[in-house]
Structure 1
Amino acid sequence: MTPVMHHSLRLSNLDSLPVSLRRYATPAASGSFRDLERLVANLSRWHDNSQFTRCLPVFYAALDPVKLSTDSPIESDAMNNAFLSLHALRKLERKHRAVFCQLWPRIWLWIAFFDTHHPEYIIDFERTPMCLVLVEILSSFTSNDAIEELVYQTVGVRAIIMEAWLLTNHSHFEDPEGHASFSKLCDVLHDIPVDNPAHFDEILDAVDGVKGVVRLVIGSIFKLYDIKDPSLSPTTLNCLTGIMAFLGNLGNKPVFCPALVAAGGASVLTTVAAASIRSSSDDLEDLNDRQYFVLLCIEALHSIIPCYRTMQTSVAAGLVRLMIYGITFPPGDDYRGVDSYRHVLTQALPASTVYHSVLLALRDELPVVDNVRETQAFKKWDMYDDWVAFEALACDRIKFMEEIERNEQTLKACTNTDCGIILEKANFKRCSHCRNAYYCSVDCQKTDWRRGDHRTACRVALLSDLANKDLTPRNLSFMRKLLHHDINAENSVLKLPTSSHYNFQALALESTVNPLVTVVDYRKGHPSAYITDANSARAEDLHKQINWDDHIARAARSGGRIELHLIRAQHGYSDNSERLLMMPQYSESPAVHQGLLDILRRDDGVANWEAEVAKLFSRCEGILKVH
C-alpha cells in the first residue's frame, strides 16, 4: 500500500506563501532552475523558518527519481534543480523529522548519484561537496532512533560520511565554516550504529582499512586539541566526544589495537581525557559531558593498556587522575563506559604492577590521590574499596622494587645441569649467542654444548627471547625477583597442594617425562600459585611461548635441583591474552617438587599427606634457591 503523502509535501502549500516567494515557487515546482535559484536566495532572507517548510513541495518535486539519469546532460535544469534542492534541505530542523522520513529516499538517491557519477559537481550558487551536504542534513536528526534506523539501514551512507570526514580532516579549522561543518560531522559520527560485519567493512573500505580509521581519529584529535592551550571549550569537547563515541561504536575490536598503539593512542587519549578534567566547571551539564567523555576515552583505552608499554605510557599521561575522577561519577553500572572503567581499576592496573617500568610511572603518579584522600566524596566513592586494594598492591610492589634497587646483588646458577653451582652473577659468563645461559667456566659451557642441551636449545632460546623482546632486561629481572619473593617468602603464595587435587601418585611414576610445574598467575594483580604437571601446563600454552622440551629435559637431569616455575602475566588485546614466562628455579639441593614426589613414592606418604607436606615446606625454607 502506497504511504499517504505528508501534508507538508503537497503542492497546495505553495498557495499560502507570500507573493514575493510564490512567484518563484510555482514555476520552480514545474522545473524552472532560474526560479528555484531566486526562491532559495529569497528564503535565506527570511528568519521565519515556516516559509521554508511551505516550500518543501518544491524541493520534493525537484528530487523526483524519475528525473535521475546518468544520460542527462551534466548541466541540465533537472540536475541543477536536484543539486540546489539538496543544498536547500540543509535547513531542515528536528521539527521536520516526520516529513524527513518521506524525503529520505529521494535525498539518498540523488546524493548517491552525485557522489558516484559527478563528485566534483558544483554550481555558482553552491559549492559545498555532496558528502558534507549529507552530513549537514543528518546532523539535524541525531539521537532519533526511528530516523537512525531508516538512514543507517541504507547501504552506502557510512561510506559517504567517512568521505566527509576525510575531507574535513584536511580542512583548516581556522575557517569558522570549516569548524562548524566538523562539529556537525562529529554529531553524526556519535550516533552511527555498527551492528554487523557489513557495516564495519563499509567503514573500513571507505578509509583504506583499520589504519585509515585510526589516522582519522588521532588526526582529528590533534586538530582539535592544542597542547599549548589545553583547555577544552564545550564545542571542542562535543567534537571529541563524537569521535570517541564513534570509535566505541566500532566495538573496540582487537584488530584496531595495534594501529591505535602505533599511532600513539595511549598517550593521546589519556592526555585529552585528563585535559577535560582540568577544564571542568561547576555547571552540572558541563560536568556530565566531561564525565561521559572521560568514560568514552577509558572505554577505548581499556583494550590497549593490558600491554605493559601502553599502560606505562597511559599512567605517565594521567591515567591515575582519570581513575580518581571516578569519585564524581554517579553510582551504579547502568551507563556507558563504566564497565571498562571498573575493569581498568580492578584488573588492568593491578595486573600491570608486575612490570618494573609501570611501577616507576605509578610511583610518580600515585601522590595525586593525596589531594582528595580526606574528602567525603572520596570516602563515599562506590569504588573506594577497589581503589584501596589497588593502591595497597601498587605501594607494596613499589616498596619491593626500591628494596631490590638498594641491594643489587643477584645470584645465578650454572646452566650446566651437572654443575648447578650458585654464585653472584658477576662470576658467570653468558652464552654469546642467546645471552640466556650462564656458565661458571669454559668447561661447563663445553660440557653443556656437547651433551646436546644447549646445542639444540640455543636457537630456540634466542627465538623465545625475540618473542619477549618488548620486555627490557630491567623488567625481566624484576619479574624474576618478584616471583622468587612471592614463592619463597614467609607468606608464600604457594599453598599446600591437596592429595586429591591432582593424581600426584600417577605423576610420581612419570616425573622424568612429565615433571611438576609451579604456576604463578599475576593476571589479576595479587598472585595465585598452584602446582600442576608439565603436560597440563603445556596444553594451555596455545601460542607455544615456552620451549617445553628443553626445560623438561633439564629438569629431569638435574636430580630435583631445577624446578619449573611458570609466570602468567597480563599481556595482549583480548581478555584471554597472556604472556607466559618460564623462570626455572635452581637450588643447591632438591627442593619442593622432588620432595612431593618422594612423599608420594612412600607407602605411608599419602596417609599423612598434610603433615608430610608441611614438614617439606619448612625444610625447604633453608635451601639456597635462585631464579
Structure 2
Amino acid sequence: MEALLERGIVTALTLTAKLSFSPSSRDALPRQLLRASLALLTDFFRRSLGYRWIKESLKAGLLGVIVACQNETQSQTLVVLCGIIDVVQRSLVYRSVIRQFSVSLCDVHQTSLEGIFAEDDINELWNNFLAVARNFFAIMLDLDANKLVSARACDYLECGLIALKADFRRCSGCSTAHYCSEACQGKDWSVHRRSCEELRITRNKSRDGVSRRDRAFFGALVDRVYFQERTQIIPEVLSFMREFPDQIPSIIFNYANPEATCNIHLASIHEFDEFPKFVSHAERSGGRMQIHGINVADGSKERLWIFPLRSATADVMTELQLISKETSSGSAAEAERVAALINLDVVEIH
C-alpha cells in the first residue's frame, strides 16, 4: 500500500474523479467511478500521516472535484462527499494542508463558495468546512508574518526570564535551547546535555513524519486559543486544583474532533508520562512552566504534541493554589481574587 501511495496513486485517483466533470471529454467516466475514486481517497486519507495525501490530492484538483459536485442529488454520491469533506476538514490543522487549500482556491473559478450544494445537509457541513479553513488560514498568515512568535523564555528553569528572542544566546550544539546568559547556560548543562544531541538531529527535520513548519503551526494554535480563552481557563484550573489538590494541572487543546474546532480540557501532568522530560521540567519549575498540549487528527487516529507555557513568575499558579485552600467554591472572596488574578500583569509565552 505504501508503495502505491509513493508512486502517485492519490494523484491518479484525484484526476480520475476530475474526469467525471470534464465538459470537453466525450468519454466522461460514470458516477460509479467517481464514487469509487473518492471512497478510495478517503481511505488513504484516514491512514497514518494521511494529511500528506490530502495535500497531494488538493494539489491535483480535489477541491475542484468537490465543488463540481454541488448539484449532485444522488444519496450514494453525497455520502461519499460528506466523508471526504469530513476527513479533509480534520486535517486543516496542518499548515501544509491549509496552505495547499488556499492555493487550490485560486483554481476554483467561482465567485462564492458558501451554500453552493443543492442538499441542505451537505451545505451545512460544507459551510462549516469553509469557516474552519478561513480561521486556520488567518492564523497561518499571522505565523508567517512572525506576529505570534516574538519572545523566548530562558531554558534554565530556575531563571525563566522572558524577553525578545534577539536577547538570547542559543546552544551551539542543538541551536534549540535558549539562554539569557552564559551563566544560565552553564547551570542548565547537567540537564540539557541529555537531550542536546537529539535536538540537534531533529531540529530541521520532520518528527514522526510531521514537518517543523506543521509543528510550529500547532504551537501557534495553542498560543492563540490559550490567550483568547484565558479568562475561562483560569477558573477551570482552580476547579481542577480543588478536586485534585495533589496533582499539577495541564491543559489539552483538542482539535481531533469532527468539527476541527478546539475543545479544551484539563488533566494531570502524569497523563503525559510518555513525555517524561516535560513532566520533569513542570515539576521542577515551581509553577513557572505548565504543560499545554494539542491533540490533532492523524488519519483516523489522534496525536498529541506538547507546547509548554512559560511564565516569568510563578505568581499565577501560586495564587491559584492559595485561592483553592483559603476560599470556598463560588464565594465572593474567590470571585474577587480570581478576577484580580486574571487581570494580573504577568508575561506568559509558549
TM-score, scaled to structure 1: 0.49
- How far is the alpha carbon of 1:329 from its aligned partner? 3.1
Relative distance call for 1:418 and 1:487 in structure 2 (3 A) is same
Residue 333 of structure 2 is aligned to residue 606 of structure 1: no
Pair 1:588 & 2:312 matched: yes
State the Cα distance separating 1:280 from its structure 2 match. Answer: 7.5
Corresponding position of 1:483: 222
What SS does the aligned partner of 2:210 have?
A: coil
TM superposition shift of 1:354: 2.0
Give the drift of 1:275: 3.1
SS in structure 1 opposite 2:343?
helix
**Distance between the aligned counterparts of 1:582 and 1:390, measured in 2?**
26
Residue 455 (structure 1) aligned with residue 193 (structure 2):
yes
Change over 3 Å in CA distance of 1:394–1:299 after alignment to 2: closer
2:250–2:266 CA contact under 8 A, matched in 1: yes
Q: In 2, Cα distance between the equivalents of 1:474 and 1:612?
A: 41
1:619 aligned partner: 343
Report deviation, 1:517.
0.8
- Alignment partner for residue 523 of structure 1, among 253, 256, 263? 256
Q: Tell me the residue number matched to 1:441.
A: 181
The equivalent of 1:261 in structure 2 is 5
Q: Which amino acid in the other structure matches residue 555 of structure 1?
A: A
Task: From the superposition, tell whether residues 376 and 490 of structure 1 become closer, same or farther in structure 2 (CA, over 3 Å).
Answer: closer
Instruction: Return the structure number with greater strand share.
Output: 2
1:369 to partner: Cα distance: 5.3
Distance change >3 Å, CA 394–CA 492, structure 1 → 2: farther
Residue 400 of structure 1 aligns with which residue? 139
Residues 369, 492 of structure 1: alpha-carbon distance in 2 compared, 3 angstrom cutoff: farther
Q: Secondary structure at the match of 2:295?
A: strand
Distance 1:613 1:261 in 2: 57
Deviation at 1:389, TM superposition (A): 0.6
* 8 Å contact kept, 1:351–1:570: yes
**Counterpart-to-counterpart distance in 2, 1:536 and 1:363:** 36
C-alpha spacing 1:448/1:495, structure 2 compared with 1 (3 Å): closer
> Quick one: distance in 2 between partners of 1:467 and 1:295?
28
Would the alpha carbon gap of residues 287 and 320 (structure 1) be closer, same or farther in structure 2, given more than 3 Å must change?
Answer: same
Identity %: 24
Residue 99 of structure 2 is matched in structure 1 by: 360
Q: Give the corresponding residue for 1:342.
A: 82
Aligned equivalents of 1:395, 1:377: Cα separation in 2: 17
Shift of 1:599: 2.2
- Report deviation, 1:460: 6.2
Amino acid of the structure 1 residue aligned with 2:68: Y
CA distance in 2 between counterparts of 1:571 and 1:586 reads 27
Gap change, CA 1:594 and 1:475, over 3 Å in 2: farther
| Unmatched runs of 5 consecutive residues or more in structure 2 | none
Q: Does structure 1 conserve the Cα–Cα contact (< 8 Å) formed by 2:249 and 2:266?
A: yes
Shift in CA distance, 519/616, structure 1 to aligned 2, threshold 3 Å: farther
1:567–1:582 CA contact under 8 A, matched in 2: yes
Contact 1:499–1:606 under 8 Å retained in 2 = no
Q: What is the CA-CA distance between 1:373 and the residue it aligns to?
A: 3.8
Q: Paired residue for 1:271, among 15, 19, 26? A: 15
Cα pair distance change 1:264/1:594, threshold 3 Å: farther
Counterpart secondary structure, 1:497: helix
**2: CA distance, partners of 1:405 / 1:561:** 28
Q: How many residues align?
A: 345
Q: What's 1:507 paired with?
A: 244
Structure 1's unaligned 5+ residue stretches are 1-255, 539-543
The match for 1:120 is none
Measure how far apart 1:527 and its partner are: 1.0
Q: Check 1:260–1:430 CA distance in 2 against 1; reply closer, same or farther (3 A cut).
A: farther
CA distance 1:534–1:355, change in 2 (3 Å): same
Q: Give the Cα–Cα distance (whole angstroms) in 2 for the partners of residues 623 and 326 of structure 1.
A: 51
Deviation at 1:368, TM superposition (A): 5.0
Q: Which moved more, 1:609-618 or 1:528-537?
A: 609-618
**Counterparts in 2 of 1:563 and 1:498: CA distance versus 1, 3 Å:** closer
Rounded to whole Å, the distance in 1 between the matches of 2:116 and 2:251 is 43
Contact persistence 1:373–1:379 (CA under 8 A): no
Give me the TM-score of the superposition, normalised by structure 2: 0.82
The residue identity in structure 2 corresponding to 1:265 is: I
Amino acid at match of 2:249: L
Cα 1:322–1:422 shift into 2, 3 Å: same
- Indicate the structure with greater helix content: 1
Give the whole-Å Cα distance in 1 for the aligned partners of 2:65 and 2:278. Answer: 43
Selected match of 2:72 from 324, 329, 343: 329
The question of 1:556 aligning with 2:299 is answered no
Shift of 1:386: 0.7
Q: How far does residue 402 in structure 1 lie from its aligned partner after superposition?
A: 1.7
Match of 2:293 among 543, 563, 566: 566
Larger Rg: 1
Q: Does 1:389 align with 2:120?
A: no
The alignment partner of 2:20 has SS state of helix
Check whether the contact 2:51–2:97 (CA below 8 A) recurs between aligned residues: yes
Alpha-carbon separation, structure 1, partners of 2:336 and 2:316: 12
